Chain A
Amino acid sequence: MRPAFSVIFFTVMSGCGYGLLFLFGLALAFNPAVSGRIEGLVQLGVGAIFVVAGLLASTLHLGQPQRAWRAFSQWRSSWLSREGVASVASFMPMVLIAGCLWRGADATTLRALGALLAAFAAITVICTAGIYTSLKAIPAWHNRFVLPGYLLMALLGGAAWSWLIGEWTGGARAQPALIVALAIASCVLKHFYWRHIDAATPASTIETATGLGRFGRVRSVEAPHTEENYLTHEMGFQLARKHGKRLRNIALLLLGPCTIVLALLAITFQAPLHWPAACCAFAAAILVTAGLFVERWLFFAQAKHVVMLYYGGARMHDA
């Protein structure tokens, strides 16, 4: 699949934003006094900016963005529509928490709103993953690794930014130990995901696509058109196949070892100096986000669409 930058930016940034908001909501639910006024507002604000930036970027992918409001209507069948509804709904607890932090509110209200925010953040990321897992025509997305992948990547991105904001404002933050755990989990999951998509036997072949397998081995000798069309342009993206291995290693390196080393450094040099941990947090947020961009680019670029079977003898495995 062609990796459209607007969609990659959307899934990475809104993922980081919701990860951040989820962790903040959860922290509030457990301890309403976890965060001071300004510290809390910064956490919320950065989360909201990421989410809004992601949503705005996603409209760049549309041919008729002025009609985007229509996308809230079909939540009964469409994960994309559900994603839109959930993302807008998540602004309700965000605004209410901001109001409570600003004006002061009792602990129970903050607890409830924190839990609500965490729930909406999780639901929205689940819906984002649902857009991809529901597509049977793209086996690399229609499998059990994709939903946990989206959730973990959102958490890792959110945790890295939460840590940075915490170091910067002195408020609540994701602890470096949590980041180490999430980084390890993410790398393990991605490893199994890649192993799965590389090895899975495809249910569809050029023989089932044409129904001509009963006669023998089918091979395309002439495409319907001499130039590209929408399908070959959008779904026949080839570039990633060449550098796939290297890019996977880069993503793993950024999300795994780099992040883990930074978190461990911060744990080691925590006291009495403040700046080493702050520097580590800054580097970790940047590197994790960069790693997520590479990971998401590969998620699109390495996903093969079944329709390409019609365009060649290429099996889903062939490079």
Chain B
Amino acid sequence: MTMLPPPTSKKLGLVIDLDICVGCHACAVACKEWNDGGQFGPLPDANPYGAEPLGVWFNRVHTYEIEPKEKGAPAMTVHFPRSCLHCETPDCVTVCPTGASYKRAEDGIVLVDEDKCIGCKLCSWACPYGAREYSEQRGTMQKCTLCVDRIYNESFEEIDRQPACVMACPTRARHFGDLGDADSAVSKLVAERGGYDLMPEMGYKPVNKYLPPRPRRDGCAAEPTPAQEEKVDFSTSPLLRWIDKVLSR
């Protein structure tokens, strides 16, 4: 059914901290690895070990450089993971002619039922975020599942019931939770850090939020100050005084 469900109270999604993402692509690799073997896999590649491999990834990490508005301010480099934002009112769901593309009423996750997908690619045309990639090998559309086969998986320890990308991030730049609950850790993080939507002008109301890089510390742009001679008080220890004397020769 590709009609959107009534607005869901539970909105599972990700919060991505652009301040601390180091662009290591671990999230993207972990995603590919989990989903290749998970319930929505495989994610086959054409020519995987050849010159031009081509295959579906649910998560892609871009790197941008920002030329600041103020003259002389340092340029910023921002690593930017991009995946499905599990929008509240996405067109990728409503354009689907078969009912394969759907948004879950219980938690808002947007999924593709690969047994119904005819591979018309229209949903990927409708998504401005590039969240959907078509698999030439499978003849169907594939996308981020928010690791729906992990987060409810009772054979896992509670702590492991998180998306693979969140588990893999070495800098804890990715957070998973219910963005429909104002008291959840992720909602508080968004409120505190001014988390924002990508392309709000499209009107799809993404659930996933991005946390902006923090302002650079003062002095970053200033001329480096000449190194000052350290003044150390060695008067208390004769041994240190002797070492200082020897090394200072």
Contacts and interface: CB of A to CB of B under 8 A. Distances in A.
Interface of A: 1, 61-65, 67-68, 70-74, 76-81, 84, 131, 134-138, 203-204, 206, 208-212, 214-225, 227-231, 233-235, 305-307, 310-311
B66 interface: yes
B130 interface: yes
B28 A224 contact: yes
A27 to B, nearest CB: 33
Given A77-B2, A220-B63, 8 more contacts: A64-B117, A64-B118, A134-B95, A135-B125, A135-B126, A220-B65, A228-B54, A229-B133
Contacts, number: 206
Given A135-B126, A230-B56, A310-B130, A220 B62 contact: yes
Contact of A64 (B62, B140, B213): B140
Nearest to B140: A63
Contact of B125 (A70, A227, A305): A305
Contacts of B128: 136-137, 204, 209, 305-307
B182 interface: no
Contacts of B136: 63, 230
A244 B25 CA distance: 38
A5 to B, nearest CB: 14
Contacts of A307: 127-130
A256 B145 CA distance: 50
A258 B247 CA distance: 93
Contacts of A80: 95, 97, 120, 122
B133 A84 contact: no
Contacts of B76: 215-216
Contact of B139 (A63, A73, A230, A306): A63
Contacts of B52: 227-228
B77 A221 contact: yes
6 contacts: A80-B120, A81-B98, A208-B199, A210-B198, A212-B66, A220-B64
Contacts of A131: 95, 122
B199 A306 contact: yes
The 5 closest A-B pairs by CB, nearest first: A63-B119, A63-B139, A224-B60, A81-B97, A307-B130
A119 B99 CA distance: 27
A135 B25 CA distance: 31
A71 B120 contact: yes
B176 interface: no
Most buried by A among B60, B196, B199: B199
B212 A212 contact: yes
Nearest to B59: A224
B125 A211 contact: no
Interface of B: 1-4, 18, 23, 25, 28, 52-57, 60-69, 73, 76-78, 80, 82, 91, 93-100, 116-122, 124-130, 133-136, 138-140, 196-203, 210, 212-213
Contact of B119 (A64, A217, A233): A64
Nearest to A223: B62
Nearest to A219: B65
B82 A224 contact: yes
Contacts of A71: 97-98, 118, 120
Contact of A231 (B130, B139, B210): B130
A230 B96 contact: no
A279 to B, nearest CB: 41
A234 B121 contact: yes
Contacts of B95: 77-80, 131, 134-135
A228 B200 CA distance: 27
B156 to A, nearest CB: 28
A133 B184 CA distance: 39
B98 A77 contact: no
A211 B197 contact: yes
Contacts of A137: 91, 125-128, 202
